[in-house]
Amino acid sequence: MKADFEAADITASSGGFSVASAAGRTVEARAVILAGGGKSYPALGANGSCYALAGRFGHHIVPPVPSAVPLLVKDPMCQALQGQKLMVRAVSLIAGQAGQKAEGELLFAQYGLSGTAALDVSESLSIAVNRDGKKDASVIVDLIPFMSEEDLAAELSRRMEAGWSAKDLGAGLLPEKFALIMPQFLGDAGASAGKMSHGEAGRRLAAVLKSKKFAVQGTRGWNEAEFTSGGVDAREVKPRTLESKLRRGLYFAGEVLDVQGGRGGHNLAWAWASGFVAGLTE
């Protein structure tokens, strides 16, 4: 075992590989396992350096982007509600196509959206905006997931009929802070008082509350990303041994590969399991 040995280069040698450190030391190895992780949490030392080492042997690197990461959203609602948490259902929407779905906590922030629901749909959105450069990316949020749209519409219509003020329409259904923006919801729904029947206004407002759309401009950076999406193309690795298909004796483990396990311990389980498999080198 070599301590204080930062691998800076790997080259083929007669015995397998020659690994050079940043300080100029060299060791010979019959087999090499690249397990340097992705680019998440650079403050802890992650830098994606293994991508370049894999590239020495012809491996394609899927461009890494932050994943399980907060979303950048320019919406006055996020600023008005910053610090507010809410249990929601969320789905990513890219070029009109629904993607990842999640149920969990949504946290409104000055910059946009965080919380487990946002993190769990962030991978597809991050790939779309950060890797593919797509502009039509958004997240659709059901702000009142415990009621059907039909039941919600009926309740909102009843409240309007009873003369409830706009700011009080969400009382008991949404946190108190939402009273600040209920008039905005009415405006988004085109349900201003006096322009239509209470029944129609209730249906329109319910539709907005059940599918509020937030346009996504980007994501927060690597220091706030739990995972990395991207890395060594997994199609270039033998699935049973995690050995490179391009160079005998070269193995991969963990997040250096373009494999994502998701939150809830799945990504960690992949790191441990892949490390065990790669360690069974012949």
Residue 86 lies in a domain: yes
Question: Alpha-carbon distance 26 to 140, whole Å?
Answer: 53
Question: Do 133 and 244 lie in a common domain?
Answer: no
In this prediction, residue 3 carries a pLDDT of 76
Question: Alpha-carbon distance 19 to 29, whole Å?
Answer: 7
What are the tens digits of pLDDT across the range 20-76? 988 889 999 999 999 988 899 888 888 888 999 999 999 999 999 999 999 999 999
In this prediction, residue 106 carries a pLDDT of 98
Residue 136 lies in a domain: yes
Question: Alpha-carbon distance 112 to 238, whole Å?
Answer: 40
Residue 261: pLDDT over 70: yes
In this prediction, residue 258 carries a pLDDT of 94
**Mean pLDDT across the stretch 259-280?**
88
In this prediction, residue 216 carries a pLDDT of 97
> Of 17, 21, 18, whose CA–CA distance to 5 is shortest?
21
13-17, 218-222, 235-239: range with lowest mean pLDDT: 13-17
105-119, 179-193, 266-280: range with lowest mean pLDDT: 179-193
**Mean pLDDT across the stretch 114-143?**
96
- Residue 263 — very low, low, confident or very high, per pLDDT cuts 50/70/90? confident
In this prediction, residue 192 carries a pLDDT of 66
For the beta sheet containing 26-29, the strands, ordered from the edge strand earlier in sequence to the opposite edge, are 7-13, 16-21, 26-29
Residue 172: pLDDT over 60: yes
Range of the domain at 36: 31-65+229-279
In this prediction, residue 128 carries a pLDDT of 96
**Mean pLDDT across the stretch 135-145?**
96
Question: Alpha-carbon distance 268 to 133, whole Å?
Answer: 29
Count of structural domains, the chain: 2
**Mean pLDDT across the stretch 83-98?**
96
Question: Do 265 and 198 lie in a common domain?
Answer: no
Question: Do 123 and 150 lie in a common domain?
Answer: yes
Residue 192 lies in a domain: yes
Question: Do 89 and 144 lie in a common domain?
Answer: yes
pTM for the whole structure: 0.88
Question: Do 210 and 116 lie in a common domain?
Answer: yes
Question: Alpha-carbon distance 9 to 12, whole Å?
Answer: 10
What are the tens digits of pLDDT across the range 180-215? 999 888 888 877 656 788 899 999 999 999 999 999
Calculate the CA 268 to chain-centre distance: 16
**Mean pLDDT across the stretch 255-277?**
89
* Residue where one domain finishes, among candidates 173, 197, 220: 220
In this prediction, residue 282 carries a pLDDT of 65
- Residue 90 — very low, low, confident or very high, per pLDDT cuts 50/70/90? very high
Question: Do 78 and 192 lie in a common domain?
Answer: yes
In this prediction, residue 68 carries a pLDDT of 95
**Mean pLDDT across the stretch 245-260?**
94
Is 82 strand, coil or helix? coil
